[in-house]
Amino acid sequence: MAPANATGRVLFASLIGTTIEFFDFYSYATAAVLVFPQLFFPGSDPTTAILQSFATFALAFVARPVGSALFGHFGDRVGRKATLVAALLTMGVSTVVIGLLPGYASIGVPAPVLLALCRLGQGLGLGGEWGGAVLLATENAPPGKRAWFGMFPQLGAPLGFFLANGTFLLMSATLDDRAFLSWGWRLPFIGSAVLVAVGLWIRLRINETPEFQRVIDREQRVRLPMREVFVRHPRTLLAGTFGSIATFLVFYLVSVFAMSWGTSRLGYSREQFLWLEMAAVVCFAGAIPLSAVLARRIGSRGAMLVATVAIGVYGLVFAPLFVSASPGEALVFLAIGMTLTGLTYGPIGTLLAQMFPAAVRYTGSSLCFNLSGILGASVAPYIATWLATRHGLQSVGYYLSAAALLTLFALLTVKPEHD
């Protein structure tokens, strides 16, 4: 048996990795709105350029299931620790290279092609990162603490978002537009190398999780984990995938789409909207531990059901909350959306992990999460922009409510389990 991991080290290792990964991921999301349309897709009208930029944003979500299958295979065959290190390196290298890419004006068509390839690399890394981080936490959790431990890697999402937007906000405040578009936007991508080094140092100091060590000791590892998931657990895979759609959609509507719409149609400046999102993401972070308390009482599935119903109602009032150039009204809109995101995002890792046996848990939970990302997040900014432009902003709210209804039905098929 491997030595037991210290609680503090486990929780920090799971949190630091997802924080780094989501910092890299959200840096791209912010740049996809503020920088890439001008730098990599010039010559188009503003709407076409932003749609092309959102298309590269969506590529990572297509790559994430591939990453979950690839890293999940090794996570269920070799171990959680080694796989988490490889996933972090994949994401980190892809992100740093984005910061070094020349623009369209320098090399023409290869510029957006290289950007797309790096975005695919980000997706592969994050596809393997999330599931491993959740298992690192939950498989080290003592009895009765699984929901609380599973919440820690989820905190990496708002922390990464806060760091990414904060970095862009700082640059917007200290650099003029010319310097920002020329070289300033590159700093978060290149600077992430330092964060990756810290994450690697922490993760190399942890031991294998007790649950997976027991799988090794009992010789229960399966040869092809992904085949095992599709053959023996297809209903679980479908339930987990569709049960996570609203989680993704609500976040990317109130972050990426809202920033694009607010700065292009409602008259907000880049700095003003970044400040609003920075304030709202505090609600995201605060709602995650609250969701763990709720999950402790009614289970992870119960907490997800409550949050999903609330998301459906939020979709019905989406447009009235976000049609004004008033910062106060926009902050209320963003704060509610981010709070609901935290309430649904907090228990999702614990729920998906407990749905699969330990021998295929890395693959199964990662596939659910990342397949759902394709359906709920990859095309969300694109679809929302198309709907709002042609049918009005309320159609975006109906889109969210419909997704919440689908998620609700899927969650009702999941066997409840108290955490």
Please give the distance of CA 359 from its chain centroid, rounded to a whole number.
25
- In this prediction, residue 245 carries a pLDDT of 95
The pLDDT score that the predictor gives to residue 45 is 66
| Rounded-to-integer distance, Cα 220 and Cα 225, Å | 11
Is residue 378's pLDDT more than 80?
no
Q: Is 5 helix (H, G, I), strand (E, B) or coil?
A: coil
Task: Tell me how far apart the alpha carbons of residues 106 and 102 are, in angstroms, rounded to a whole number.
Answer: 6
pLDDT tens column, 237-276: 999 999 999 999 999 899 888 888 888 888 888 788 888 9
Summarize pLDDT for 381-410 with one digit per residue, the tens: 889 989 989 999 899 999 999 999 999 999
- pLDDT for the residue 310: 97
Query: What is the pLDDT at residue 28?
Result: 81
Residue-wise DSSP of 120-164? HHHHHHHHHHHHHHHHHHHTTPPTT-HHHHHHHHHTHHHHHHHHH
Between 419 and 357, residue with greater pLDDT:
357
Contacts of residue 116, defined as CB under 8 A and 6 or more positions apart, other chains included, come to 56, 59
Of 85-89, 355-359, 407-411, least confident by mean pLDDT is 85-89
Q: Which pLDDT value is given to residue 323?
A: 74
116 band by pLDDT with thresholds 50, 70 and 90? confident
Count of alpha carbons within 13 angstroms of residue 383, beta-carbon side? 18
Mean pLDDT of 40-50: 74
**Domains of the chain, residue spans:** 7-412
The amino acid occupying position 128 is G
More confident site: 86 or 49: 86
Q: How far apart are CA 340 and CA 315, in angstroms?
A: 11
Four-way CATH pick for 7-412: 1.20.140.10, 1.20.1250.20, 3.40.50.720, 3.30.420.40: 1.20.1250.20
183-219 pLDDT, tens digit each: 888 888 898 888 888 888 888 888 888 888 888 888 8
Neighbours of 398 (CB within 10 A): 16
Q: Taking residues 328-353, what's their average pLDDT? A: 94
pLDDT digits (tens, 9 = 90+) for 137-187: 898 888 878 888 889 899 988 898 888 878 888 887 888 878 887 888 888
What is the mean pLDDT of the segment spanning 86-110?
86
Q: pLDDT digits over 275-322, tens only?
A: 898 899 999 999 999 999 999 999 999 999 999 999 999 999 988 878
pLDDT of residue 300: 94
pLDDT score, position 44: 67
Task: Give the gyration radius of the chain's Cα atoms.
Answer: 20
Better pLDDT: 124 or 323: 124
pLDDT confidence band for 373 (50 / 70 / 90): confident
Q: Which amino acid is at 24?
A: D
Q: What is the mean pLDDT of the chain?
A: 87
* Angle at alpha carbon of residue 13, lines to 205 and 209, rounded to 5°: 70
**419 pLDDT exceeds 70?**
no
